[in-house]
Amino acid sequence: MMKTAVLAALVGSAAAFAPAQTGRASTNLAVSELELGVTEPLGVYDPLGWIDTQPESFERRRAVERKHGRVAMAAVVGTIVHQNHITFDGYLSKSADLKFSDVPVGVDGIRAIPTAGLAQILAFFALVELAWMPASKYDGDYGVGWFGEDIEDPETKARKLNVELNNGRAAQMGILGMMVHDVLDGKPFIFIDSN
Sequence ranges of the domains in the chain: 66-195
- Tell me: is residue 129 an annotated ligand-binding position: no
pLDDT band at 9 (very low <50, low <70, confident <90, very high): low
Mean pLDDT value across residues 75-87: 89
Predicted local distance difference test score (pLDDT) of residue 17: 44
- Tell me: is residue 70 an annotated ligand-binding position: yes
pTM over 0.95: no
Q: Which range (19-28, 42-51, 63-72, 120-129) has the least confidence?
A: 19-28
CB atoms closer than 10 angstroms to residue 182: 20
Greater confidence, 82 or 134? 82
